[in-house]
């Protein structure tokens, strides 16, 4: 067939796909708004032009021939791509709108989304935001979410990852009063002599092991990563409860420096073992790979990248302050 004839066939091919989807001329004709007879005649003409039988017809039953099935397997994804492209063109230039579902760990939501929720929704008033709290590693697409927030870049197939925070560090902290009473640990092995507030991970139920990396003797030497099982009188599966326990002088905690930053800045908590805590990749926003990203998802990415720069700036005072993997991920 001459390629020049293809445009004239497109309506008939689309109607064939619709008839095959419904398995009925009556249902398909009702959807497109033409008579059943007209639709049937159109598909007969398509079969004549292709010189192949596409449908088995009886008075009570309609089914695909082998050739019809093969054609449908090619047409369905092609027509779906065309429909998606048309919808995305409709969205182009429009204000972001609709429901935006974000799968996120609780700690990621507390640090990046919840503090700026009011500003985000005021900037994009036609958006509705739904946060799906999940500390496990769920399938973002299968769960019907538009995007997900996770620590580290670990790309699954057909996904894109955008960094929305600077690199992060774990920090070991306690109150000045606690260290005055119990002394200051100089290395992770000293933790066996201290009361450590423990975190029980919500998805696995395991106690979070404190993460360390031995300081390198030279700039080029590799660092040795290891973990330490904490022991203490308090165990919780709530990271904010863990911080409250530390603020009361109950014991030491290891948590994200970013989450502890306000208390380090005002002096209520003091950081120790800093040379043993190396930076690691921060939070990434994951989303399905698409040729053209929906306006609502682009709005969220741009907003979080903007806030990432503020996190870089606010980190400077803490990093300069001398000191006397990740909770919520499993």
The closest of 162, 104, 161, 152 to 282, measured between CA atoms, is 152
Residue 17 belongs to domain with CATH number: 1.10.10.10
pLDDT value, residue 106: 86
Q: Identify the band that residue 256 occupies on the pLDDT scale cut at 50, 70 and 90.
A: very high
Tens of pLDDT along 257-292? 989 999 999 999 999 999 999 998 889 999 887 667
The closest of 150, 128, 125, 153 to 138, measured between CA atoms, is 150
Pair of tokens at residue 241: 């409860």
Tens of pLDDT along 133-192? 886 666 676 677 889 988 876 656 677 889 999 899 999 999 999 999 999 999 999 999
Residues 6+ apart with CB under 8 A from 234: 195, 197, 198, 242, 245, 250, 251
Name the phi and psi angles at 53, rounded to 5. Answer: -85, 125
pLDDT value, residue 100: 93
pLDDT value, residue 151: 83
Return d(Cα 143, Cα 112) in angstroms, integer. Answer: 21
Return d(Cα 200, Cα 235) in angstroms, integer. Answer: 7
Residues 194 and 64 in one domain: no
Residues 199 and 258 in one domain: yes
Residues 122 and 66 in one domain: no
Residues 148 and 62 in one domain: no
Residues 73 and 145 in one domain: no
From 53, 68, 91, give the residue that closes a domain.
91
Q: Provide the mean pLDDT of the chain.
A: 84
Residues 125 and 161 in one domain: yes
Bridge partners (DSSP) of residue 147 are: 102
Residues 174 and 308 in one domain: no
Pair of tokens at residue 244: 């409250």
Answer whether residue 295 is part of any domain. Answer: yes
**E strand map for 107-185:** 127-133, 147-151, 159-163, 170-174
Q: Identify the band that residue 317 occupies on the pLDDT scale cut at 50, 70 and 90.
A: very low
The secondary structure of 220-233 as a DSSP string is TSPPPEEEE----S
Residues 162 and 174 in one domain: no
pLDDT value, residue 23: 86
* Domain around 47: 3-91
Residue 232 belongs to domain with CATH number: 3.40.190.10
pLDDT value, residue 323: 35
Answer whether residue 327 is part of any domain. Answer: no
Number of domains in the chain: 3
Bridge partners (DSSP) of residue 287 are: 160
Contact in structure between 67 and 52 (CB atoms under 8 Å): yes
Residues 160 and 287 in one domain: yes
From 68, 91, 114, give the residue that closes a domain.
91
Instruction: For the chain, give the percent of residues with pLDDT over 70.
Output: 82
Please give the model's pTM, rounded to 2 decimal places: 0.62
Residues 153 and 193 in one domain: no
């Amino acid at each position: 067939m001459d390629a020049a004839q293809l445009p004239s066939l497109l309506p008939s091919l689309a109607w064939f796909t619709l008839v095959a989807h419904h398995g009925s001329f009556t249902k398909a004709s009702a959807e497109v708004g033409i008579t059943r007879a007209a639709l049937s005649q159109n598909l007969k003409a398509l079969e004549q032009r292709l010189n192949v039988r596409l449908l088995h017809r009886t008075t009570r039953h309609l089914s695909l021939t082998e050739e019809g099935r093969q054609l449908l397997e090619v047409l369905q994804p092609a027509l779906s791509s065309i429909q998606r492209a048309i919808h995305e063109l409709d969205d182009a230039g429009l204000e972001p709108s609709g429901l935006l579902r974000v799968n996120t760990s609780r700690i990621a939501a507390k640090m990046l989304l919840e503090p700026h929720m009011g500003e985000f929704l005021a900037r994009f008033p036609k958006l509705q935001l739904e946060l799906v709290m999940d500390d496990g590693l769920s399938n973002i697409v299968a769960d019907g979410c538009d995007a997900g927030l996770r620590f580290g870049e670990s790309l699954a197939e057909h996904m894109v990852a955008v960094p929305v925070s600077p690199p992060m560090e774990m920090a070991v902290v306690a109150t000045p009063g606690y260290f005055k009473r119990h002394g200051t640990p100089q290395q992770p092995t000293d933790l066996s002599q201290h009361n450590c507030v423990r975190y029980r991970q919500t998805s696995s139920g395991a106690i979070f092991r404190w993460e360390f990396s031995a300081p390198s003797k030279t700039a080029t030497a590799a660092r040795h990563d290891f973990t330490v099982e904490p022991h203490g009188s308090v165990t919780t599966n709530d990271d904010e409860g863990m911080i409250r326990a530390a603020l009361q002088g109950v014991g030491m905690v290891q948590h994200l420096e970013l989450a502890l930053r306000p208390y380090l800045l005002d002096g209520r908590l003091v950081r120790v073992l800093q040379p043993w805590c190396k930076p690691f990749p921060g939070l990434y926003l994951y989303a399905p790979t698409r040729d053209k990203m929906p306006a609502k998802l682009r709005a969220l990415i741009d907003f979080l990248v903007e806030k990432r720069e503020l996190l870089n700036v606010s980190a400077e005072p803490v990093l300069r302050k001398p000191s006397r993997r990740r909770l919520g991920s499993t």
